[in-house]
Chains A and B, each alone.
Chain A
């Protein structure tokens, strides 16, 4: 049985899950995801921020807005209630301007993650070979340099281990110039967990966990995007 998140979205004839839904789904799959919640009003956003602890990040939650930061829908490093309140208003105004008529669920409030090495894990489907898992360093490394490695699902430990070491930026994960090294075993475990989940969840068409912050003692995904197969 697929997760309720998937069945609900398909019932509503949606193939793009919201960030909150995507994160919940990943959390159900056993992936570490940053704690966050959905606030539908400014007051809820402030209350939630206090509960999670400052600093926080606010992001627009809308099934119609995929590129959140391009449309002014992301505010980082908010360290008190006043900043959260102002950010909420700005995000709503920007969303209305950038995407008039877009359906808006509210904002996601999440704890600001401590800095780590940014990595990306993702999946897409190849017409011939089915689900393909990707690993790379996040940000400019994936977008500009395309420094990524792939493996066909399902992965075994050797695949996970090799694909992490295959990228050119691997030395950055080992701790470059005094930066905290990433725990490679943790990343391997996450790739295997993700592979296992994808193998069991054919409803997913594409997926990005970007970025995942990798630390010496763990990792946490701070954003997730899941796209479902459209049902015929």
Chain B
């Protein structure tokens, strides 16, 4: 184990929670993106830039500039280096001399280019950092995001309010997209990191750190490859036993052509092995950003549950059929209700233009009924009390009056669904499809998730997220819910 690995978690505390940040090499050509991203930063911000043409722009932002990292008077906890690759070894040397908490290299052009010079330079900075025990993040990445203290990597990212979700991404774009898309799905981040070529600090280091970070309750990961598989496996097993870890493995379909002489060898290609690792450690495997977002939203907002049997409520006959097919295909069961439930439903359900076997087609009983909201309440409560049902999924039309009325007036449907979400003990998800109006549908969903209701833009996404939630709690029946931030 390298010098870095031994005490990584402690050492990373300083760099993840810096009180001073220095940006080396920010410039007009990239819109001073680093210094701008740091405008809300709660600590000291310094710039290091030797090009006199860049100085006025830096001054305009009100940031003190120095010609050398060493000239900065106080301690520097985190350095963002956006410099030409050839300069990287000098910056690493300065970081070591300055005893900084850590450095992120936004600079690219290293081993990922496959060029001799890139590979050589990467080896140089790797050796320098390893020998000195320097926390080097990257190169070829965007580094850290800690919204609580306003440490960001793009101006578009939210700040001020932290949440319980940690994110670890090999790709900078995935880290950025996760934070931006997540904002619309009720996902608030505790800390996130993009770590690029992972020459010194690798996914296991960050997983270990966020695993022991009290503010992080759920961890999402985007991984293209790991340096030390066994260490990753042990680390994942350990962290996943304490909090949900989701893994999106990039490059899963890459053919692993290897010469083997056994059946086992021919079948155990890399994609399958990654799926095995995820499963064996009790982590959650996701296949794209949407699924990452959806499953985290479900874990954050839906109650835990280990049963597969879903009670479905849809707004029309056609949608009832569609939602049933989709949930069944996702591996969920749609059972009959108990006789007691049917008896209760029969007392008020309008079967002209509706039906209630399971799914419940509630068009006439809710949509078209004068006392629709109270009927909706009754129907949801019947499902909640039915012992044949483990989870509940409700489709809402975005245009259902008065869900999207004037925000000042209380919305009875939103209130009813929100109250039900609070009193049910079963996983509950709401689907607002984009079939009618994208804008209206996403506005409705944001409103729902704003009230703590897991809501999804389509049957497939809801079914997949619910299935993953159930599988997760089946593997970890002891794990309690992480509260939404």
Contacts and interface: CB of A to CB of B under 8 A. Distances in A.
Interface of A: 16, 66, 120, 122-124, 126-130, 132, 134, 142-143, 146, 148-152, 159, 162, 206-208, 210, 225, 227
Interface string B207-234: 0000000000000000001100110110
Contacts, number: 74
A148 to B, nearest CB: 6
Interface in B212-271: 225-226, 229-230, 232-233, 260-265, 267-268, 270
Contacts of B280: 151-152, 159
A120 B267 CA distance: 12
23 contacts: A120-B263, A126-B268, A126-B270, A126-B273, A128-B226, A128-B232, A128-B270, A129-B230, A129-B233, A134-B263, A134-B267, A143-B263, A152-B233, A152-B276, A152-B277, A159-B280, A206-B262, A206-B264, A207-B262, A208-B264, A225-B261, A225-B262, A227-B262
B369 interface: no
Contacts of A122: 262-265
Contact of B261 (A126, A150, A206): A206
B272 interface: yes
Contacts of B272: 150
Most buried by A among B226, B233, B265: B265
Nearest to B281: A152
A134 B268 contact: yes
10 residue pairs, one from A and one from B, having the closest CB atoms: A122-B264, A128-B229, A124-B265, A129-B229, A206-B262, A150-B276, A134-B264, A124-B264, A208-B262, A126-B273
Contacts of A210: 263
Contacts of A148: 267
A124 B260 contact: yes
Contacts of A225: 261-262
A124 B226 contact: no
A65 to B, nearest CB: 13
Main secondary structure of the interface of A (DSSP, over half): strand
Given A128-B229, A148-B267, 10 more contacts: A129-B230, A129-B273, A134-B264, A134-B267, A150-B272, A206-B261, A206-B264, A208-B262, A210-B263, A225-B261
Given A128-B226, A150-B273, A66 B264 contact: no
Nearest to A130: B230
B276 A208 contact: no
A132 B273 contact: yes
A143 B260 CA distance: 14
A13 B68 CA distance: 60
A143 B261 CA distance: 14
Nearest to A226: B262
Contacts of B265: 122, 124, 206
Contacts of B273: 126, 128-129, 132, 150, 152
A123 B261 contact: no
Nearest to A151: B280
B261 A227 contact: yes
Contacts of A150: 268, 272-273, 276
B224 to A, nearest CB: 12
B393 to A, nearest CB: 26
Contacts of B229: 126-130
A44 B229 CA distance: 50
A128 B233 CA distance: 10
Nearest to A142: B263
Contacts of A130: 229-230
A222 to B, nearest CB: 15
Nearest to B266: A124
Contact of B276 (A16, A127, A132, A143): A132
Nearest to B269: A126
Contacts of A127: 229
A208 B280 CA distance: 22
Contacts of B276: 132, 149-152
Given A132-B273, A143-B263, A159-B280, A124 B233 contact: no
A120 B268 CA distance: 14
A54 B390 CA distance: 57
Most buried by A among B262, B264, B279: B264
